[in-house]
Structure formats: C-alpha cells, structure tokens
Chains A and B, each alone.
Chain A
C-alpha cells in the first residue's frame, strides 16, 4: 500500500523559537523524500509532526485521504492510530525485551495470534539477514545489527508510511555506505512512501527520489537530487549541497563589445548571459573549473594554495589576490605549492544569484 502525505501551512513553535514556519509540502505516494538541512532547521520536527509525536501549532497534515492533524478543526490523531512506522536515530530498542519481542511488539498489540507473529517476525528477520538472532537482547548486538532490528520492527507491521530519523548516523562509514544501498533496495521492493531525515547531503543525494532542503523552519527547495545540485534555488542550498562546497564569488556584471562578462576582484570571466542588474553572486561548482599548467588565452592566472589528493580525484585550492577557487580535477596532475596555473570556467555552468536575497537568477527575468 502506498499513500501520499500532504502538509499544509504547518507551524510549530518551541517557546520563542519557530521550528516550522508555515511549511507546505506534498509527498507523493511511493516516493523516497529526504528532508535535508543543518541542525535546528526543523527537519526532525517535521518528521515528528507527521508521526504524531509533536503537536503543531497551526496547519494541517493528511496521510492518504485522512486528516491526522488539523489545527482549525482541533483534530489530532494519536501516533498509534496513524499507521506510520518509524526508525529512531538511537534505534530505541527496548533493552528488556529480546529481538523477537521487539520486532513482534506492534503485531502483538494488534492482537495477531502468537503463531502468526512468530512466522512474520522470522520472515522479516530473514529478509534482513538476521535469522537466528531472535532470542538475543539488544545489548548483545553490534550497532549494525541493532539498526537492522529497528528496521525489522518497522517492517513487521507493514505500515503504509516509513519515517526515518537519521538512522545511519550512529554507524561507521563503511557500514553506512552498505546500509544506504540496503535501504534503497528496500524502498524499491516495498514501494512504500518514505520520509527520511538527514544532515548528510551525500546521503540525501544518493538515496532520495526527491530532496527537500530546509533551513530555519522553511523549505528552501524541493526537487530531484540532480535538480537541486544543478539549479540550487538560492545561495544556502547551493552551499549546502555538493562536496566540496560550491565556489561563491561576488561580481559586477558588464556588457562589453556586446558580450556579457562577470568582473570580480581583479579579473573577469566570460558569462553566457547577465541579468539586468549591476551586481550578482557567482556560483561555480569545483568540477566546472579547469586547470591548465600553461598559459591559455582567456584563462586567468591563479596560484596553487593547497593540493588535497583524494583517491581518484584531486582537490586544488587556488588563489589570486582576494579570491579563492576550489577546483575538482580528475587528472593526476603533479602540482606544487604556489605553482602558477591558468583557470578557465565553463560559462554555461555558472549560476547567478541576487546579491541581497541570495535567490537564483534566471535569464528572461525582469529587473
């Protein structure tokens, strides 16, 4: 079963702090939606509101066709009745119950007969490569195993919505990567609507069908990972997504000889278009910057500040006067500190942002 989730005008305050500020979001049935953002942006609060663990101050939440929360109508369906499943960051496994009891807890509450519970729990544990561990206690399991028990508990009752609150953040890096694939596989096989919270942008980009980037209780942008990456709607999203960070430079727009240029510091780059305003912020992804070891026409001379080799690629931090540019280079160049290099930037890969509001500018826009 797959249901959509509708969030309208949701506001939640904790004392003087507004954790969610009139948030609107439509989560399609069957999609894997990731809520991404820094700490305090409201992503966990939003998840908990969907789960019914927090009571919003305003707005509405619908799961499927059903209104589970409505401020104006005074409706607040308790979480136990919302038919959602959740994996907590700390797993929240009950330490006094064995794995079998943890996973079967929800089923027993639904008065499913013991024999059937046993069968279903065994099946779920087997699917997660945990068979034979039913009689162990959580304290006797490794971190990765505990995480899978938490997942098994989620899956056992077959809820139509999966909610996950940073479930992988307590795992070591290797395990985290493995589990990302597992979760993607799981989502594909079950097709269940999943809402996933993380602060790790790599995780968001690799797992999501769509990402909702949040900051200070507001959704900054919702879209497919590639859209978010290529066309971040504002400076915050551009800087938050992408490793290493996008290069952001203030520039003046200049039209010379009928050609658009972006003037920054003491050099200029050719642009494919310029907006009808004097200044803008220029966003350039590290992989869209090219390094040449010899002078090139229209290239700008920079000096190597630091070289950071990283397996198959190289990150080079270059400097010129007050400007720093980070470059992602896939060739195995042998660069020295302070070496002179020549930089070119693909004009079509440049994003321009309004220098006061930080909003993405697009061609065809009026002043």
Chain B
C-alpha cells in the first residue's frame, strides 16, 4: 500500500480514509431501500423469531400458577420441570406419547392413502381419454376447498353412535342398528376423513408431476410391446417418484397439523392427537404442556421437510428427464372402460365432494336433531327469530347478531389480511430478489420461510405465549383483532413471498434501471413501475389468501375472544356445544364464500386483465 497513488496522484492520508467511510455510511443509511430492508427485518424477527423464542421460554420458567403442581417453584426462574413432567411424569403417556403416536399414525397412513388415491385419480383425469375429465377434475378439488371440519361434522351426522352420546345418525336410522364404534370415532374415521380432505391436494401435486413427463419415454416402451399396466408400473410411476415423495411430505406436513378432524372424531373417545391435546391442555390451564406439544409438532414438521429435501434431492438427479419435452402425446385410451371409469369416478366425487355438503345442509333444516323425517324440517335455523323453546333462544342465522357480527369479522379479517399480506410479501420478495447474495436478502428469505414449518395450532400457541400478557415493550395483543390480522399475514408469508418473487422476477431488472436513470427515486420506482406490473401476479395470490383465511381454524382458535369471533370459530363453538344446526349452517356459509372465492380466482385466471399484462411482459 503506497501513500502516493499513481492513479490519481492523491495522497492516501488518514483524512481521505475517514472521508471514504463517512461517505459510504451516508449513502447506506440514507438509501430508502436499505432503511426499508432493515425495518422489514426488524418486523419479521419480532413476528416470527420472537414468538418461537417465547414458546421455548414459557416452557422453561416457573410461573405463579405452577404453585399447585409443585412446591419448589421460584417464579421467573429457569427450570426443566415442565419438560421432565411431560416426558417422564405420571401423565406423560396421556399428554405426550399417546397423542404423539396417534398423530404419526393417522398422519402418515392418511398421507399414503391420499397420495395413492390422488395419484390414481390424477392419472385418470390428466392422462386418459375418460369423458368428463375437466369437470371431474374441478369437482374433485372440492373436498380440499371446504373446511375440514365440514367433513368431520358430516361424518358424525352419518355415523353417530348413541353409545358415545347424542341422537342417532343417518346410518342407524337407515339400517336400524348403530355403526360399530371404530367406525364412528377414533383413528379409522380420522384417517378416512383426512384422506377425503387431502386427496385433492395430492391430486394437484401429482398432476403437476405427471405433466412434466416426456411421453416419449412411455411411447418407446409401448413400441416394445409393454402393456399399459406395465408401462404405468415400470415407467410412469417410477419416474414421478421424487415428486411423489415430495408430495408425501407436503401432505404429511398438513395432516399432522389438522385440528378439527381429530377434535370431532377423536376426542369423544379420548383419542387425542398432538393438536387436540394442545388445545385441551390450554383449556385445562396447563400452558407449559401445551407449548411443549407445540414445539414437538414443529419439530416433526421440520424433520419431515428436512428428510424430504434430502431424499428428493438425491433422487431428483437420477430421475431427471433428459431433454424432456413434457406431456405431448396421446392420452391413454381406456377402450371399453371409458364410461365405467367415468361412472366410478363421478360416484366417488359425489360421495366425497357433494354428499357431505348435502348432509350438512339437510341437518340445518332439522328441528330436532336425530329425527330425519320430512315432518321435522324447518327453516328456523336460517331465518327464524329467537324462540325460547328452540336452541335456547338462539335466533336463526339471518337474525342472529352474533352470527352477523362474526360474518363481518370474517370478511374484514380475510380482506385486510390478504391485502396486507400480499403487499408485505411483494416488498419482501422485491428486497430478496433485487439484493440476492447480500446478508439482508438471505436473512429475510430464510425468516419469511419459517412460518411454513409451524403447523397452525402450534403457531397460534406461539403467539399466545408472547402476546397473552404485556412483556416489556411487547404489548398484550391477545384478544384483539390486530393479532388475528398479524398471525394470518405472517402464517401466509412463505406463500405471499413466493408469489411476489415470481411477479418481481418477471418484471426484470432493466425496467427499473431505465426508470432509475431517468431520475426516479426508489419510492417512485416502486410506485410507478414495480407495483403496477406486479399487480397481475399478486392478485391471484391475494384471492388464494382470502379463501385460506376465510376457512382458517386452528391458527386463530387460541387467540379468539367473543369480541373477535369469526364464522369458523363461532361455528366450531356451536358444534362443540351441540348446537348442531347452527354449527353446520356456519360451516356451509364459509364453504359457500370459499367456493365463490375460487370461482372468482378461476375467472381472474382467464380474465382479460391477466392476459393483457402477460402479453405486455413478453
């Protein structure tokens, strides 16, 4: 390092070094993008990492309440008592190990069956010449769209068993004898209803994978004389194996987090999963236990995702379709099985998609639960006024201020959260994409992905742990509408950032640079170039979020208070209290709104607006 630099003849004095540092600092600190990045980082750390820490923290300190279970407490001090209690205490089996085993069993069995079912159906609707394919594909996605607890309730109405309690179900009324208990409640119905709810999810994943197979691989086998069945078995399915494994892990991740299904179909016979036990522990006032279960749920999800990326990653290279052009060949002919297939699948679609809704609807019209005759029908629960003889005076849906209030809350929550969420996701995506490689970009990317690993009810528990009471600078947000918005936005961040990323990437850097050269500030660039062009990409993401938030239950059930009730939680409450007709009515209402949302999405996908924007970005 020479003091005298030949390049510009400027002496490298200490003063110039200081000048350099000062200037660099000034540019950094006044750069709007930098300021926004740091702000975002702070917000995300606060709303994603701090709650995680809070969850752990609350399991490791003594609280006042613990006085009733132990004599050694020192409030506020560190302790491993709670962990020891849950892992090896007298009730460890009931609180931890049984629910854990149950969760794993139901989750994995359901995921496997859902995947097989989804795979087979996917083959039928995307690779064969079965009539009515397009229609069936749409109808078959319905069980995933409707809230899972609609399926649970429908199952219950059908297979209810008076031995456990309550009036008889359809099954008993039609056949004259009650169904076997293992069919009414417990692992079997939980698995079956999970399969019904999740097979469309698996179907979509597998369809995506099948669409990328180069048909020439199959055609060459066909030319060699292989039968259709052999081709399927030895060529098609092995090639989609990595996608299958990924689909399995994704499905498994969702099944272990379900709450409503095991709640209605498991708890009546004390069959608990981690999610229902979490909820019960909180109801019983055992917070640390609940939080430990939450941690466990998160750990399982993380493990599943990690294993999946290891396994899929290793196999992906082996199975990469070299020079594949994807699906372009003839669909497989079914010959004389065309119409029989159609009938089979339609029946299946009817049973899994339409029947539950019909059953639910029918029950909302039953005056007295358990009496299925036509003489028992009434519209009271929809349009009736308060009648002290019916349902403790609870008015019908349209006249019920609580229900109307909850509807308003639901819509408010979904609209506000999806707009904020889409916008937040877009800005985070922008920072991440435009600064790839920098520490801020990497951090933002990783942190915004984390909520993917937190099953809904565990995440709810996390927020409960830090927002229940005021702790230092953190306000007590429990019970407010705000906390619902925040958790809905953050839970969907991985998704909204992904949507935002593809929107921003499509815009391309040069469009912004051209504006920059013309003199636009960062804010002007965002407002006049990025936002208008990203809108198309973001709108469909917004609708998906809207629909998801409308039918959300486990995420917010722990944070709801009577003031902030939404349709789903209110419906849950009614169902819990055996106000079956109103519970069903609300679930149907949510289903209706969800289906309308999906229709709007579909219409948007084909809309002129999107097509025009896409064309202009070519």
B518/A80 in contact, CB under 8 A: yes
Interface residues of A in 68-121 (CB under 8 A from B): 71-76, 78-81, 84-86, 88, 90, 92-96, 105-106, 109-110
Q: CB < 8 Å: which of B24, B513, B524, B618 contacts A109?
A: B524
Q: 1/0 per residue A131-151: CB within 8 Å of B?
A: 000000111000000000000
Q: Which residues of B contact A109 (CB under 8 A)?
A: 518-520, 524
How many Å lie between the Cα of A92 and that of B8 in the bound state? 36
How many Å lie between the Cα of A233 and that of B224 in the bound state? 63
Chain A interface residue count, CB cutoff 8 Å, equals 37
Interface residues of A in 48-82 (CB under 8 A from B): 51-53, 59-60, 71-76, 78-81
Q: Which residues of B contact A153 (CB under 8 A)?
A: 514, 518
Indicate whether A252 reaches chain B with its CB closer than 8 angstroms. no
Indicate whether B10 reaches chain A with its CB closer than 8 angstroms. yes
Q: 1/0 per residue B4-31: CB within 8 Å of A?
A: 0101101010001001111110010000
| Chain A nearest Cβ from B536, distance in angstroms | 10
Q: Which residues of B contact A9 (CB under 8 A)?
A: 7-8
| Chain A nearest Cβ from B506, distance in angstroms | 11
Indicate whether B517 reaches chain A with its CB closer than 8 angstroms. yes
Q: CB < 8 Å: which of B7, B19, B515, B517 contacts A59?
A: B7
Q: Which residues of A contact B513 (CB under 8 A)?
A: 53, 79, 86, 88, 92
Indicate whether B600 reaches chain A with its CB closer than 8 angstroms. no
Write the chain B residue with the least CB distance to A96: B532
Q: Which residues of B contact A45 (CB under 8 A)?
A: none
Q: 1/0 per residue B499-526: CB within 8 Å of A?
A: 0000000001011011111111100100
A72/B516 in contact, CB under 8 A: no
| Chain B nearest Cβ from A26, distance in angstroms | 14
Interface-central residue, B7, B8, B518, B618, by most chain A CB under 10 Å: B518
A73/B19 in contact, CB under 8 A: yes
A137/B616 in contact, CB under 8 A: yes
Indicate whether A303 reaches chain B with its CB closer than 8 angstroms. no
Q: Which residues of B contact A79 (CB under 8 A)?
A: 513, 516-517
B518/A105 in contact, CB under 8 A: yes
Indicate whether B617 reaches chain A with its CB closer than 8 angstroms. yes
Indicate whether A351 reaches chain B with its CB closer than 8 angstroms. no
Q: CB < 8 Å: which of B508, B514, B518 contacts A157?
A: B518
B19/A80 in contact, CB under 8 A: no
Q: Which residues of A contact B596 (CB under 8 A)?
A: none
| Chain A nearest Cβ from B548, distance in angstroms | 29
Indicate whether A319 reaches chain B with its CB closer than 8 angstroms. no
Tell me if B's interface is mostly helix, strand, loop or mixed.
helix
How many Å lie between the Cα of A105 and that of B614 in the bound state? 22
Indicate whether B533 reaches chain A with its CB closer than 8 angstroms. yes
Q: Which residues of A contact B615 (CB under 8 A)?
A: 139
Write the chain A residue with the least CB distance to B512: A92
B10/A80 in contact, CB under 8 A: no
Q: Which residues of A contact B5 (CB under 8 A)?
A: 72
Interface residues of B in 387-415 (CB under 8 A from A): none
Chain B interface residue count, CB cutoff 8 Å, equals 34
How many Å lie between the Cα of A94 and that of B508 in the bound state? 11
| Given contact pairs A90-B510, A92-B511, A80 touches B20 in the complex (Cβ within 8 A) | no
A80/B517 in contact, CB under 8 A: yes
| Given contact pairs A71-B20, A138-B616, A80 touches B7 in the complex (Cβ within 8 A) | no
Q: Which residues of A contact B613 (CB under 8 A)?
A: 95-96
| Chain B nearest Cβ from A289, distance in angstroms | 44
Indicate whether A13 reaches chain B with its CB closer than 8 angstroms. no
| Given contact pairs A60-B8, A71-B20, A139-B615, A110 touches B519 in the complex (Cβ within 8 A) | yes
B533/A95 in contact, CB under 8 A: yes
Indicate whether A158 reaches chain B with its CB closer than 8 angstroms. no
Q: CB < 8 Å: which of B16, B27, B616 contacts A72?
A: B16
How many Å lie between the Cα of A109 and that of B517 in the bound state? 11
Interface residues of B in 587-618 (CB under 8 A from A): 613, 615-618
Indicate whether B529 reaches chain A with its CB closer than 8 angstroms. yes
Interface residues of B in 517-557 (CB under 8 A from A): 517-521, 524, 529, 532-533
Q: Which residues of A contact B617 (CB under 8 A)?
A: 95
Q: Which residues of A contact B16 (CB under 8 A)?
A: 72-73
Q: CB < 8 Å: which of A22, A59, A92, A106 contacts B510?
A: A92
Indicate whether A320 reaches chain B with its CB closer than 8 angstroms. no
Q: Which residues of B contact A110 (CB under 8 A)?
A: 519
| Chain B nearest Cβ from A158, distance in angstroms | 12
Q: Which residues of B contact A187 (CB under 8 A)?
A: none
Write the chain B residue with the least CB distance to A78: B516
Q: Which residues of B contact A90 (CB under 8 A)?
A: 508, 510
Interface-central residue, A78, A94, A106, by most chain B CB under 10 Å: A94
| Given contact pairs A72-B10, A73-B16, A94-B511, A80 touches B520 in the complex (Cβ within 8 A) | yes
How many Å lie between the Cα of A22 and that of B10 in the bound state? 16
Indicate whether A8 reaches chain B with its CB closer than 8 angstroms. yes
Interface residues of A in 1-40 (CB under 8 A from B): 8-9, 22
B529/A74 in contact, CB under 8 A: no
| Chain B nearest Cβ from A68, distance in angstroms | 13
How many Å lie between the Cα of A110 and that of B520 in the bound state? 9
| Chain A nearest Cβ from B514, distance in angstroms | 4
Write the chain A residue with the least CB distance to B536: A96
Q: Please list 15 pairs of residues, one from A and one from B, whose beta carbons are closer than 8 Å in the complex, sorted by A's number.
A: A8-B8, A53-B517, A72-B10, A74-B19, A74-B24, A75-B23, A79-B516, A80-B516, A85-B517, A86-B517, A90-B508, A93-B514, A105-B520, A109-B520, A153-B518
In order of increasing CB-CB distance, the 10 nearest A-B pairs are A74-B23, A95-B616, A74-B20, A106-B518, A9-B7, A92-B514, A92-B510, A80-B519, A139-B616, A74-B24
Besides A73-B16, A96-B532, 13 more A-B contacts (Cβ < 8 Å) are A53-B516, A72-B8, A72-B10, A74-B21, A74-B23, A74-B24, A76-B23, A78-B516, A86-B514, A88-B514, A106-B519, A137-B616, A139-B615
